[in-house]
Amino acid sequence: MNSGSGPGQIQRIAATAAHTRAQTAYRVYLDHSVECTACRTEPLPCAEGRRLAEVWKTARREAR
């Protein structure tokens, strides 16, 4: 009998609004990091990259 759990089973997770905000903030941060010349080439991110990282970190904390 398959109980629907165990190795190899896929479990659905409910995306909360906070989780969705964290995912969106991460995507915006990643997109910026790829498109911004300074973020790609300098050892530290630019001011906007740092701001977006903070937005993402805050959203991630709120999603927990």
Residue-wise pLDDT tens digits, 8-54: 666 556 678 889 999 999 999 999 999 999 999 999 999 999 999 99
Residue 64 pLDDT: 86
- Smallest CA-to-CA distance from 27 within 61, 64, 55 is with 55
User: What whole-number distance in Å separates Cα of residue 11 and Cα of residue 62?
Assistant: 23
Q: At which residue do the structure tokens 């190795």 appear?
A: 7
**Threshold 0.85, pTM exceeds:** no
Give the Å distances, CA to CA, from 37 to 6, 15, 46, 49.
45, 33, 9, 11
Model pLDDT, residue 16: 85
